[in-house]
Every structure is written in structure tokens, then in C-alpha cells.
Structure 1
Amino acid sequence: MPEQNSDPKSNGKIRVITNMLKTALKLWLKAQVTQVSQIEVDIRASDRQLLSGKIPWVSIFASHAVYRGLHIGKIQLVAENIQVNIGSVIKGKPLRLLETVPVFGELSMEEQDLNQSLSSELLATALNDVLVKLLPEHCTKTKSTAWQKIILDTNQIILSGILASEGESTPIKICLGLQLINAQELQLAPIQIQYDMVVQNESNQEHNFDLGPEVDIQELTLIPGKLVCRGRINVNP
């Protein structure tokens, strides 16, 4: 619980610092994205903690944000034990994290969000990594891939695109079953691949993708038209 302070001047000072931190956090968050519709920040800390730059708990809600070309419908984040450069913030300088912060959150993306993100380097790289794993023999001949559409179904993703190689353009459609097998790994199965309108591969062979040690996914839900992800990720200074 925040400390109680009966000194009106002290309370006023804390309110000013709290407002400054909220403003600095919003500015820092907006600097991470190219577009955002709404950001709400809630800070819970005692007077002593605020003055030392330690924030035990912060909640952040954002809607319709664009991060590196990736469109995100809604995101709710909670971070604990944050250390920031409070002295610099008070002097009007940008907020900066001083230590790695584990952030717990829930991310919601509609099918239209993903389709608007097809030009994102982040999403294109992830889709191309999937393609290389599933069709290595075709990818050695492919100069580029233009992803055109993503459909979200129950525990399944359907990808459509065009492969360009040696002056030819070939349509491709991939149906992927998707599930979370542990906190750091995704599994693709079953898989159906249509290459040049003909089914080339259909199997229950499993393909796993390691998300790395900085990620701890607790829930991944795919329903028609929507993806929901809940878990933790480390945010580095």
C-alpha cells in the first residue's frame, strides 16, 4: 500500500512526480510505436519509491497500436519492480529503463489487423521462416514471396501468397494447425500445402518453432477471425 503523508506540500509534490512519470511513460510508449489510438497508464507506488525511481507496479492499456508495421488491436500490460531514471525525468529528459523488466500481458489481434500487417518486416520474416521450413526445395529457387491474405480459424491459420522465381509467379496456399506445446515453443501440425493450385504436401508431421528464452507464453488461442495471446516477455533497457 502507498505510504500516507499528511503534509499537503509533500502530497502535492508526489502528485506532480506521479503525473510526470505517467506523461513520461506515455511519451516513451508512443516513441515505440508509429501509431496508437489510446494509451492508459496506472502507477502504484509509495512516496519514497517514486522519489527513488522505483515503481513496484504499472498497468498499461493500449488500443489500435502499430509497432514496426505490426497492427495490434488491444494490448494490456502489467510490469513490476521497474527502475527508471527519475532524476532525469524530473529535469524534463526522456524516461529510460535502468534494468530489464519482465512484462506480463494479453494481446488481442483481429484477422484484419494481421492482414494490415502483411507488409511488416516482423510478420514477413516470421512467415518466410515458416515457408523455408515447410518448402525448403522451393525456397532455394524463390527470389521473393508476396503474402496476400491471412485467415484465422479454430486452431488454424490459412496463408495465401505468390512465390516469384525465374520470371514466374506461382500461387501458394498453406493451411497450418497451430498450438502451444510449452512456454517457448509453437507447434505446426497438421499441414496442407497447395502449390500452383495443386496439393503438394499433406501430413501430420510436426514442426516446432522456438520463441527464445525471453518469452514465456501461457496461453495462445485461435478462433475464427481472432488471435489472443497471454504471457510474459522481458523488456531490456
Structure 2
Amino acid sequence: MPEKNLETQSSHKKLRIVTNVLKAALKVWLRSQVSQISELEVEIKASDRQILSGSIPLVSISASHAVYKGLHVRQIQLIAQNIRVNIGSVLKGQPLRLLETVPVSGEITLEEDDLNASVASTLLVSGLNELLDKLLPEQRSQSKSIIWQKIILGNGYFILYFSPVPENNNTPSEMCVHLKLLSKHELQVTQFLPDNNTEVRVENENEHYIDLGSEVDIQELQLIPGKVVCRGRVNVKP
């Protein structure tokens, strides 16, 4: 009996070591995807056999103040399911790799300050230039040389301030945009003109649609003063 107890304790100790190595490798991999992150918490939910085989049914991730390709995100709460990783290589000290596409669901929050800290990021600039091309086609020839200066968030809308390069005057241009979630991967954007604290919608030709692709499944998108909250799912590929 004592020998069996020792074997059981040894087995549990080895499993804890494997779990700790896997959790550390996951944190390293997550940190490698961003240029900045704080308060990163990772919880692995898997049986002994699943962990040892590199198959993880569920991982929950909580983080704050992350920066991904220049895009600042205030809060992240994610759940990744049905993960397969190269556990054998990880135990040999090699980097963690995903072996299959992983569905990730959860919630991210961006505050107005985060967006304004991200106005020079490739991700955000690309999206804003596409929006400018759709809503203000007369500016299309200049969209590649636009400086995005400021973003203000309101209830269901945002206001963009921008200037061409080189800037010939001190007054930036303004574009006011309604944003509405039409389906799990399609957005409706409509330009409007503010008039004495009311919103006046302009011609229908300034109403456009943006398809985010079949890999995206947005369940909720909230724009409120000072904050954006997005809940949904996306597939993360190896």
C-alpha cells in the first residue's frame, strides 16, 4: 500500500509539472502575440489524460491593457475550446504551437482613450481608410495619406477627425458615423450630419455594409459614450 501511495503521489507530481509547464507555455505564446499585456491569467480545464495527450477541452483567459499590432484593448475575457497543442515538444522546452484551428469566444472592451492611442496602428488605420473610401469617395485619392487624429464615441455612433498630408490648415475634417450590427459578421455604417445636438441622416448612398468574413461571429456590439464592448466568437488558426 505505501508503494502504491508513493506511485500515486509521484504521478500527481508529474502531472502538476506538466500542467505548470503547459500553463507557462500558453502564457509565453499569448505574450508573443501582443507587444504589451498586463494581469494575464490563464486557467486550464482538462483531465490528466487530456493534458498528457496535448488535447485541452477549455482554456479561460483574462487580461487587461493588451496591445495587438498597435491596437490597445482595455479588458479581455476569452474562452478557447477544443485546443490541440504540441505537448511533447513543449515538454522538451520548445515553443507552443496550435495544431488545429481553435474557436475562441468572449468579450473585449476598448475605451475611447484606447482607440485614440491606436489611431496610428496598422489595423485601425486600414479599417478607417476603408470606411473613408465608402462614405466619402471624393476623398478616396487621399485615403492613403490621411492622418487620423481623434475618435469620439457616442450612443451607437462615433465621430472621426482627420487631416490630409501635408496639412494645409489647422481645422481637421469631421466624419460622423452610425454603426449597427446587422448579422454575426456584417456591419451597417451610415454617415450623418449633426445639427444642434440632433442627428440628421444624409442621403441613402452614404449607407454601406462591411462584411467581416465567415470566421467572425459577433453576438453583440455596443457603442456607448467613452467605450466599445464586443461579444462574439472568432476562429484562431495555427
TM-score when scaled to structure 1? 0.90
Q: Which amino acid aligns with 2:111?
A: E
1:202 aligns with 2:197: no
Alignment of 1:141-180 (within 5 A): 141=142, 144-164=145-165, 168=168, 171-180=172-181
Alignment of 1:1-237 (within 5 A): 7-141=8-142, 144-164=145-165, 168=168, 171-192=172-193, 202-204=202-204, 205-237=206-238
- Residues 156 and 178 of structure 1 are in contact (CA less than 8 Å); yes or no, is this contact kept in structure 2? yes
How many pairs were matched up? 225
- Residues 183 and 218 of structure 2 are in contact (CA less than 8 Å); yes or no, is this contact kept in structure 1? yes
Identity of aligned residues (%): 57
- Residues 192 and 203 of structure 1 are in contact (CA less than 8 Å); yes or no, is this contact kept in structure 2? no
Q: Pick which of 184-193 and 98-107 moved more.
A: 184-193
Q: Which amino acid aligns with 2:73?
A: I
- Residues 187 and 206 of structure 1 are in contact (CA less than 8 Å); yes or no, is this contact kept in structure 2? yes
Structure 2: how far apart are the matches of 1:94 and 1:157?
A: 41
| Structure 1 residue 80: Cα displacement | 0.8
List alignment gaps of at least 5 residues for structure 1: 1-5, 194-200
Structure 2: how far apart are the matches of 1:142 and 1:217?
A: 27
Q: Which residue of 2 aligns with 1:198?
A: none
Structure 2: how far apart are the matches of 1:172 and 1:115?
A: 16
Greater share of helix residues, 1 or 2?
Answer: 2
TM-score when scaled to structure 2? 0.89
Q: Give the 3-state SS of the residue equivalent to 2:96 in structure 1.
A: coil
Structure 2: how far apart are the matches of 1:101 and 1:210?
A: 21
Structure 1: how far apart are the matches of 2:76 and 2:59?
A: 14
- Residues 135 and 191 of structure 2 are in contact (CA less than 8 Å); yes or no, is this contact kept in structure 1? no
List alignment gaps of at least 5 residues for structure 2: 1-6, 195-200
Deviations 1:149-181 (A, max 9, x none): 00010001110010237x745731011111100
Q: Give the 3-state SS of the residue equivalent to 1:234 in structure 2.
A: strand
Q: Give the 3-state SS of the residue equivalent to 2:164 in structure 1.
A: strand
